[in-house]
Amino acid sequence: MTKAIVPGTYDPITVGHLDVIERASRIFDEVVVAVAESLEKNGQGTLFNVQERVELISTATKRFDTVSVKSFDNLLVTFARDENATVLVKGLRAITDFESEFQMAALNWKLASSVETLFIMASPDNMFLSSSAVKEIARHGGSVTGLVPEGVEKALRDKFR
């Protein structure tokens, strides 16, 4: 049985994230969505705390029998080893994603060569989508319908009231 980790901050989870998670669940026997507890991303704190993010993701992924959701606050490769996972799955939207993900994959390989990184390209419908863009749209009262799961849409409205 092959277990994969799909890591991210997921602040918040988008339909693009769900697409990568679903596709990974068709490839691997078990998938753990690993939610980074990090309070900083791009110099900013997260909109949703880690418990909220885990809850939103758990609700959004409940239809996938082989997917679980856990938070982590250590090195990703340490988390992967603790979970007995041998693959890290990363979604890529554009060449800019590739540059940073390629660097992280090389560092992770240096730290734990037994953990492989697999890149899954975003589907064309989701190549433009990011959590940052979703938050910006919601912050300014725009509709995020179709960009995020229904529960996340409600959570964003509640945050920006």
The model's pLDDT over 125-134, given as tens digits with 9 standing for 90+, comes to 999 999 999 9
Cα–chain center distance at 72: 12
- pLDDT of 40 higher than 90: no
Catalytic residue among 81, 93, 123, 159: 93
Instruction: Provide the pLDDT for residue 6.
Output: 98
CA 19 – CA 121 distance, rounded (Å):
10
Does the annotation mark 154 as catalytic?
no
State both tokens at 153.
């849409």
Catalytic residue among 25, 90, 131, 135: 131
Instruction: Provide the pLDDT for residue 44.
Output: 72
Catalytic residue among 3, 23, 41, 81: 41
**pLDDT bracket for residue 39 (50, 70, 90):** low
Q: What is the pLDDT of residues 4-36, one digit of tens each?
A: 999 999 999 999 999 999 999 999 999 999 999
**pLDDT bracket for residue 38 (50, 70, 90):** confident
Does the annotation mark 140 as catalytic?
no
Does the annotation mark 17 as catalytic?
yes
DSSP of 90-113? EEE-SHHHHHHHHHHHHHHHHH-T
Please report how many Cα atoms fall inside a 13 Å half-sphere around the Cα of residue 48, on the Cβ side: 26
What does pTM read for this prediction?
0.93
CA 119 – CA 36 distance, rounded (Å):
18
